[in-house]
Amino acid sequence: MEDFIRRLPKVELHLHIEGSLEPELMFELAERNGITLPYANVQEARAAYHFNDLQSFLDIYYQGANVLITERDFFDLTWAYLMRCKADNVMHTEIFFDPQTHTDRGIAFDTVINGIYHALRQGEKELGITSKLIMCFLRHLSEEAAFETLEQAKPHLHRLIAVGLDSSELGHPPEKFTRVFAEARALGLKAVAHAGEEGPASNIWDAIRLLHVNRIDHGVQCVQDPTLMIELAETRMPLTVCPLSNIKLRVFDRMEDHNILNLLDEGLCVTVNSDDPAFFGGYMNDNFLALNQALSPNKAQLVQFTRNAIEAAFLTDDERHQLLQNLDDFWASHGIH
């Protein structure tokens, strides 16, 4: 089964590019940019990646982001992630970036998006990995600040597929960002939002009804509301679930307690993703392997995760058909049609 998982074609829809900053690259960029880190070495930095809850994670996350200064830094960060995609057989990825994390430090919006975007395009040419880019608003900041970020993004709309909403869910409900999401959709962007991770099922309803999202990021608290479960199944509203992240942030105590297979069996469009892999214990293969060890999914369930992700991805019909063909070819190579 481990060999099957490693060779399974995958699609990732919930990945924060800043959360893929490994300690080794953090030290390399700090040295390049003359920044002094609060860690003596890579080992001490990796030890600091152990935290207790979402807020303590975010504190470390923003500390690490301080080493990202130049366009080349953002390129190198993204390229390192794409190399992990290649190793994990990820065919397509739709990545989040948090411009406010950088513009608040005085880094130009253009610097951030140029570095990321050029790496994604090179990844398509050299690695064969297709990608889309999603700009997230930090929900602990104001909607006014989100509007400012959307304004900065306007020259780059052709590079973006959607807007998202991330950071601390508690105390910052979807309704806080209703107007800026309406503006983004009017500009032709799709919408996603983190909801139902540490927050209640009602946040999922609000993200759907108020923000009119195309996908829910996380969403595992949907089980609190049977009516919502039915709604999600009937509409095929995708949930971008992040198993290792959910354990690391204590959404579930143990992987054995995770509800992802139950959600799949209930007919929900659930997908597997790595969230912030440098901090949460691994990339796509690691998440699939952890699920396999704890929950013993069968091969059909594992393939369905990829099939759901292809369905949920922001693709043209031709792009979707190609990814489905790749998956079907893999499935057929195992004697199953």
Instruction: Say which of 12, 18, 197, 198 is annotated catalytic.
Output: 197
Number of DSSP helices (H) and strands (E) in the chain, helices first: 17, 8
Q: 3-state DSSP call for residue 74?
A: helix
Assess whether 143 carries a catalytic annotation. no
Residue 233 to residue 213: CA distance in whole angstroms: 15
Please list, in sequence order, all residues whose beta carbon lies within 8 angstroms of the beta carbon of residue 125, skipping any fewer than 6 positions away. none
257 assigned ligand-binding residue: no
Residue 305 to residue 327: CA distance in whole angstroms: 11
- Characterise 106 by phi-psi region: left (phi > 0), alpha (psi -120 to 50), beta (else): left
110 assigned ligand-binding residue: no
Residue 310 to residue 56: CA distance in whole angstroms: 33
Residue 118 to residue 75: CA distance in whole angstroms: 7
- The angle subtended at Cα 55 by Cα 50 and Cα 58, nearest 5°, is 70
92 assigned ligand-binding residue: no
286 assigned ligand-binding residue: no
**Contact between 174 and 203 (Cβ < 8 Å):** yes
194 assigned ligand-binding residue: yes
Nearest to residue 68, comparing CAs of 133, 112, 100, 38? 112
**Contact between 309 and 15 (Cβ < 8 Å):** no
Beta bridge partners of 216: 193, 239
Phi, psi at 224, each rounded to 5°: -65, -20
Binding residue ranges: 14, 16, 194, 275-276
Which residues are catalytically annotated?
197
Binding residue ranges for substrate: 276
Binding residue ranges for Zn(2+): 14, 16, 194, 275
